Structure 1
Amino acid sequence: MQLDKKTFVGSQLKQICICIFLLLVSCRLFGGQSQSPTPTETDAIFELVTLGDAGGIQDGNLSAFLFRVLSEPNYIALDAGTVINGINVSLANNAFKYLELNKDKKLSLTGNILHHHIKGYLISHAHLDHVAGLLIAAPDDSNKPIYALKSVNQTMQDSYFNWKAWPNFTNRGIQPHLNKYQVIDLVPQQGLSLKNTQLKVTAFSLSHSVESTAFVIEYQNNLFVYFGDTGPDEMEKQGNLAAIWQYLAKQMQTKTLRGLVIEVSFDNQQPDNQLFGHLTPKWLLSELTYFYSLVEQKQQFQSMGVIISHIKYSLESGLDPRDKIQQELQQKNTLGFNFMLAKQGQRIIL
């Protein structure tokens, strides 16, 4: 039977469409990443600046981020392992290009950001790689609050702000109080507005070698989550991550989760009995798969960024742990999460 040109062309187009469809399905099933376009300045709501991306041992690049609503010039710090060096590296990378900087002529650009734009600290836990930058900057910092769970604030008071390890720059604990920082205890799963910002935070307890914290940050109908150090639920046996995933899934019925920062400290070769309250690519994907199963509108994950932090710096020669972790995440990324490894000095809009 002979086909006329119109029928032949139609048949060929149909076959091409089928091939394209199969290719897309193949990418989805076998680890291809379903990337959404990077938000533009007009589409984005939040800005995240990475002051420090690593978990131990590289001093000068320890866990710390700045976070703000793009409509205001005020940040909240998410942990503070590195502060001054992180600001300097971020300035060198033009991460504050879109920030309307305060013009205090008595201060450098770094000083202006520290004094006038960082309006407080959300501290997930008191380990040094999450607070060292705050402690070192304290003598020259401006007055601002420290927000943390009660146990975290107590550890900070007992271990650092005790006139032995460091002067007491807070309004609590051993006298004299220097009153640089107002210490505010967060109540788990109870929202609180963050002073001098448009943001609201809800804290959730995480399982680590000490109590750690996840911060669900909210602006209007937009959400962002910052996770401090955490082990997987299957190993920790406390269900803390499940509680957060369930809360977020419910919130996502009416709100948009723009993104999250979560740790992956080790690659998959790290034995489960040596995680010390941390995640690997295998365990993160397991947790995210459970989260995915809870959310009714799956398309929301296509535009949600998953920013990987706290990768342990390695002194061993060979493959960079960042490269290995990135490979392991993508190899099993069958649900198409938008993974991005945090990098010091980087600006991300969400």
Structure 2
Amino acid sequence: MKPGLPFLLPAFLLLASFPFLPSPAPAATPAPGFVVTVLGARGGMLDGNLSAYMIRPTGDDRAILCDAGTVTAGLVAADRAGALDDVAVPPGTGLTRPGYVLAHTIRAYLLSHAHLDHVAGLVIASPDDGPKPIYALPATLHDLSAHLFNWRIWPNFGDAGPPPTLGKYHYRPLVPGRADPVPDTAMTVTAWPLSHGGIDSTAFLLAANGAAILYLGDTGPDAVEGGHRLDDLWRAVGPQLAAHRLKAIIIEASYDDTRPDRLLFGHMTPAWVADTLRDLARRAGGPDTLRGLTVLIGHVKASLATGPAPQEAIRRDLLRDAARDGLQDVRFVIAEQGQRLTVGAGPTAATEAVPPAGPTGRPR
């Protein structure tokens, strides 16, 4: 026996008496899906809670914002509700969590149209925002540069329009039906025009990692608008639903079912939402294609009237209309400011953070 081996042998025997610990398992790759954080959920007069939806793929902290009616106030509300708790603010930034998300987490804006309840938050936040692109159809970008960022209503933070251009925002026109990568994110965006009471609005299909989510700006039903833009949209995205890639739809229902069609002004009711979802199912291959789909209802018109909150009437109508039209397998969720929803990353969508509600369903 070689010198020194008798001294090593007990050590080997001691090690052999302990079970070897398995190597740490590699981190699981998140299932394809999206995290939606509602910064603003209402339409109309409630200026601190207007359409704005922050969307990112699961497992990725790089987000975009679909519409920007309320931005800074929405980030503060989401932070208070715990919806931003997973955002790590690097030391030394000097920013609060909402400030960091505004400047760094949100990598781009997608604007459906230039009505104030969809862009006011972007305009107000622009002095403290970080540089980023704004994606929209050309008419929306024109309205933004000609009528808002024009040195009369607000300084021109864009890269086009009345000089001098400050160049913080880079206008990126979208071509309907063409998928464009959103730089510095994992997502692509495809736009389709919608009809909104005489002006163009937009639907955005976001895709990442084999999953997709569809956001619709303000829109009226084809039968009322006198066109076929929703049907064109369903023809285009139906294959995504049939292949189980489409995980969620964000769509408006501004009024309850008591609203007459002549007073919709380019908006939807729960009955019309149910009707157009049946059209989508028909384009996708049948009602079974809707099973497990999450439909987030936004742009509910706020009211100062006494009585139940408008969203409660819309919730009631949705349940009735879904039962009537065979949509029981669709998961309808009424958007509330401060919600965080994960869609497509598991068997069902999960509401992870929801702001507290008062006795009438109105957020406190």
User: What's the TM-score once normalised by structure 1's chain length?
Assistant: 0.86
Q: 1:344 aligns with which of 315, 337, 341?
A: 337
- Aligned-partner residue type, residue 244 of structure 1: L
Q: 1:72-221 residue pairs with structure 2 within 5 A?
A: 72-209=60-197, 210-221=199-210
Q: Secondary structure at the match of 2:67?
A: strand
The Cα offsets for residues 131-165 of structure 1, whole Å up to 9 and x where unpaired, read as 00000000111100000000000011111011101
8 A Cα contact 1:54 1:311, kept in partner = yes
Match of 2:235 in 1: 246
Q: 1:267 aligns with which of 244, 256, 260?
A: 256
The share of aligned pairs that are identical, in percent, is: 38
The Cα offsets for residues 269-326 of structure 1, whole Å up to 9 and x where unpaired, read as 1111110000001111111111112222644422210000000001111221110010
Match of 2:300 in 1: 311
Using the TM superposition, give the Cα deviation of residue 44 of structure 1 relative to its aligned residue in structure 2, in angstroms.
5.7
Q: Secondary structure at the match of 1:303?
A: coil
Q: 1:281 aligns with which of 270, 277, 297?
A: 270
Match of 2:57 in 1: 69
- Aligned-partner residue type, residue 335 of structure 1: L
Distance 2:336 2:292 in 1: 20
- Aligned-partner residue type, residue 347 of structure 1: R
The Cα offsets for residues 208-241 of structure 1, whole Å up to 9 and x where unpaired, read as 1321000011113211000000000011122000
Match of 1:37 in 2: none
Report how many aligned residue pairs link the two structures: 310
Q: 1:234 aligns with which of 211, 223, 226?
A: 223
8 A Cα contact 2:146 2:162, kept in partner = no
Which of 1 and 2 has higher RCO (CA within 8 Å, sep 6+)? 1
Superposed CA RMSD:
1.5
Q: Secondary structure at the match of 1:252?
A: helix
Match of 2:16 in 1: none
Distance 2:85 2:187 in 1: 22
Greater mean alpha carbon deviation, residues 304-313 or residues 327-336:
327-336
Match of 2:352 in 1: none
8 A Cα contact 1:81 1:132, kept in partner = yes
Q: Secondary structure at the match of 1:161?
A: coil
Distance 1:317 1:85 in 2: 25
Distance 2:141 2:54 in 1: 20
Greater mean alpha carbon deviation, residues 51-60 or residues 96-105:
96-105
Q: Which has the larger radius of gyration?
A: 2
8 A Cα contact 1:53 1:64, kept in partner = yes
The Cα offsets for residues 88-136 of structure 1, whole Å up to 9 and x where unpaired, read as 0101111022334444432121111111101010000000000000000
Match of 1:58 in 2: 46
- Aligned-partner residue type, residue 47 of structure 1: V
Distance 1:102 1:241, change over 3 A: farther
Q: Secondary structure at the match of 2:101?
A: helix
Match of 2:354 in 1: none
Instruction: Give 5+ residue unaligned stretches, structure 2.
Output: 1-28, 344-364
Distance 2:258 2:304 in 1: 16
Match of 2:362 in 1: none
Distance 2:113 2:174 in 1: 12
Distance 2:99 2:88 in 1: 14
- Aligned-partner residue type, residue 344 of structure 1: Q
Instruction: Give 5+ residue unaligned stretches, structure 1.
Output: 1-40
8 A Cα contact 1:125 1:152, kept in partner = yes
Distance 1:185 1:136 in 2: 22
